[in-house]
Homo-oligomer: A and B are copies of this chain.
Amino acid sequence: MLNSGADDRARRHATFNGGPVRHGTMREHNLAVVLGEVVRHQSVTRARLADLTGLTKTTVSNLVAVLAEGGLVQDGGTVREGERGRPGVAVSVNGDGVAGLGLEINVDYLAACVIDLGRRVRHRHLIATDNRGRAPEKVIEALARQAAQAIDSAADQGLTVAGAVVALPGVLDRRTGWLRTAPNLGWSDVPAGTLLTDGLPTLRLPPDADNEANLGALGELWFGVGRELGDFVHVSGEVGIGAGIVVSGQIFRGAHGFAGELGHLVVEPGGPPCSCGGRGCLEQFAGQEAVLRAAGVTDARTSFTTTVAADPDGPMAVLLESLRSGDERAVAAVDRAGHALGSALSAAVNLLDPDSVVLGGIFSPLAPWARPAVQEALTAATTGIRGRTPSVVVSRLAGEAAVRGAAGLVIERVLADPGGLLSVRAARRDHPRQ
């Protein structure tokens, strides 16, 4: 292990944002720097890496050897850099070594996704199933079967799953691992962290969990339209409506991890009561059930509506068909939802000042009918102060953004701290029973 000789006091100071520079962490830091440059340049010689990082060629060669040994980079092909000199051997990311596993529990489906270090999707699996009111343990049992299939599928392709992140449709306290509430599942005060660790023992490391709105935004950032955007607010509306706030390439989580609760912004004071206990919340106007009901696709007695992904013949598919055929009631319902969404997003824009707004979840397929209203509401409420309105961009990942973001988060962590992964492996090799 890299840090085994360091005492507690030294480790306490071994940070780059406050403590002085110490040599104990330089190797881990430089491993991440070299791997970062390989990712950025895709295919690059050791000589160029030395030039890019300011490290000596010997140091670069040693670091590359450690990364290659760990299955994170590989030699392959030659590349000519600049006009002079012979072509050099190129180092590139090893897309056939390590992978991240993304899992998702949502209201009407379970999902799994494996993504390799080259950010290619290697396995996707969605099971439509009504999870409302089911015991968390039962749902996690089903998720564990899906996770095992994903790990097998990765292994068949020669990939090793380095870790997993689970997307949950609720308010999660990430310090304690407790899911405070997932109103649309009917869950409250669930010890999600413990249940997932116990229920997914096949993983090398206990899985991490995060809010699906945050992971949806990260999925968009790494695999979707977010790659070309600066700071953005990503709306991940399905049965509930959440938002993921991306600032400088990171999720803005707030003091307790509860930031981005867009669905509970009040758009009509004193309006209809909401499951959160408030009144006139955005979800009551632009949530999937509200829209389906207003469009006449379902009636007030319908308590279960599936997403398009979970049920291609379900009510959302019916709504889209009605919209395409120009059904007036459907068009008016989605326009109204778009206005409500635009009002709530105006508050987000005035407070957070993003470059762009991304319409994800159900608003991605609904965009042709919802987007003009969103834009209109945003323009009315935000232009006077800032002189321009943020761009409104439509997600292509829609409901799949969260599970991609979950898998991507594993990859990002490996890239940010390859030394951490390598030292966990070394410890397992030395003490296989740990």
Contact = CB atoms under 8 A, between A and B. Distances in A.
Nearest to A24: B54
A93 to B, nearest CB: 18
A266 B353 contact: no
A19 B255 contact: no
Contacts of A85: none
A22 B54 contact: yes
Contact of A262 (B19, B26, B275, B350): B350
Nearest to A51: B9
Interface string A374-385: 000000111111
A353 B269 contact: no
B257 A381 contact: no
Interface stretch (A10-18, A149-157, A302-310): A10-18
A260 interface: yes
Contacts of A10: 54
Interface string A261-282: 1101111110000111111000
A68 interface: no
Contacts of A92: none
Given A171-B386, A264-B385, A257 B353 contact: yes
Given A265-B351, A267-B269, A54 B385 contact: no
A33 interface: yes
B385 A276 contact: yes
Interface in A1-51: 9-10, 13, 16-22, 26, 29-30, 33, 36
A355 interface: yes
A259 B266 CA distance: 20
A284 to B, nearest CB: 13
Contacts of A22: 54
Give the oligomeric copy count. Answer: 2
Interface in A35-87: 36, 53-55
A427 interface: no
A146 to B, nearest CB: 29
27 contacts: A13-B53, A16-B17, A16-B21, A17-B17, A19-B53, A20-B26, A20-B55, A21-B26, A21-B30, A180-B386, A181-B384, A181-B385, A230-B255, A254-B352, A255-B353, A256-B353, A256-B386, A258-B353, A259-B353, A261-B386, A264-B382, A264-B384, A265-B350, A266-B346, A278-B380, A347-B351, A351-B351
Interface of A: 9-10, 13, 16-22, 26, 29-30, 33, 36, 53-55, 171, 180-181, 230-231, 243, 245, 247, 252-262, 264-269, 274-279, 343, 346-348, 350-355, 380-387
Given A16-B16, A18-B36, A252-B252, 19 more contacts: A13-B53, A16-B17, A18-B33, A19-B54, A20-B54, A21-B21, A180-B387, A243-B351, A255-B354, A255-B355, A257-B353, A264-B350, A264-B381, A266-B346, A266-B347, A276-B384, A277-B384, A278-B381, A348-B351
